[in-house]
Structure 1
């Protein structure tokens, strides 16, 4: 998830692209895992940075 956070901060890729880059075939599953480990969604994390 550290890599995902770093990629979300960079803001150059969509959540689906980040999920694919990290090896998750299903972006929804990636979002579930991200929320489970960080207690916020990837989109919320991205908006906090911006």
Structure 2
């Protein structure tokens, strides 16, 4: 799951689609938060503290 999150993040960063670019300001920090939590706990979760809400 963590590897997939990194691949998806990379795909978003190189994509020029305007809709996908619009979600980057929330997706990038949320991905980093989830990956840090994974490295700390060894469990990849989508409900970790510190995630940015949908705007």
Give the TM-score, by structure 2 length: 0.31
More helix by share: 1
**TM-score normalised by L of structure 1:** 0.33
Asked which structure has the greater CA Rg, the reply is 2
